[in-house]
Amino acid sequence: MIPAPAAGPARTPRRIGPFEVPAIGLGCMNVSHAYGTAPSTEDAERLLRTAVAEGVTLFDTAALYGFGANEELVGRVLADHRDAVVLASKCGMTGVNGQRVIDGRPDTIRRTADEALTRLKTDVIDLYYLHRFDRQVPIEDSVGAMTDLVAAGKVRTLGLSEVSADTLRKAHAVHPIAALQNEYSLWSRNPEQGTLAAAAELGVALVAFSPLARGFLTAAPPDPATLPEKDIRRNMPRFAADNYAANLELHARIADIAREAGCTPAQLALAWVLSRGEHVVAIPGTRSIAHLRENMAVLELDVPAAALEAAGQVLNAETVRGSRYNDATLAEIDTERCGAAG
């Protein structure tokens, strides 16, 4: 069953643990990782400085992104704004000898945190996530090591990423979890299988990454045939030729709804995610200053509830074609599945 959308704009700040933030933050991965050739250092820095000027206060990075380069970028640019922002990073999935490795062992977590503090040019990380649940390590052990980081004053609050409601509850019993970061968008509904409600019950913020469906829910969705070789979407089933053709038909209907509502498809998609609950925060990523401003404008929009409901009926776990990851990646992730859509 698709939850009914909440009425009203998302201009009211939302809470992540002790922090109050706008409902839209910035996912910083795009400028260093996963989408082909990264932008120039100058362009990446300009984007982050503009984000600060546009009112973004939640910045999300990770040790994995650019194998440390993204943390260095974020730390360098935000150093002069440190007291005005909430700085979030992640451990438990890093680059080792050029390969992505999931490692939730306590010693690795402690070492990664020290490395992150150096790259981020700070003495404390506001929100530190376990990027992936390492199935070889009990979640209690990984979170226990992160709890030690809090006790040492290196981390203020803890988060988890891409885990199930059951894992969230186990972790929360060890140490209060401030935020759960899961993929959530019109076409990725996994949180509705348990974590959306569990997070609300436990007082945990649900931080939605890829709320724009990896660029699909924008005015100009990507052409899979032209994606660069190292773009992760090339290996995502939803972007495979047959699936994508069907999904584009749904995009056209979403665009029509957005036009009637007086907003862009991206703004409709973000407003929909933020309508899922007052504990939901979205962190769209972008390399474009124009798109950054388009996203932040959602905080001042009154998108009609009827438009949000219509968008959710058009594009959802039952109508999207293809799973969100390939089988190998899905096997690494602890989140609940949405039927055939993964």
The type of residue at 130 is L
Q: How many residues does the chain have?
A: 342
Q: Exactly one of 65, 129, 244, 325 is catalytic; which is it?
A: 65
DSSP single-letter state for residue 336: P
Give the residue among 64, 47, 69, 65 at the shortest CA–CA distance from 56: 47
Distance between CA atoms of 161 and 290, rounded to whole angstroms? 28
Mark whether 184 is an active-site residue. Answer: no
Give the residue among 14, 24, 4 at the shortest CA–CA distance from 297: 24
Hey, what's the torsion of the CAs at 206, 210, 212, 217, to 10 degrees?
Answer: -140
Distance between CA atoms of 99 and 76, rounded to whole angstroms? 25
| Burial class for 300, CB neighbours closer than 10 Å (0-12, 13-18, 19+) | exposed
Active site residues: 65
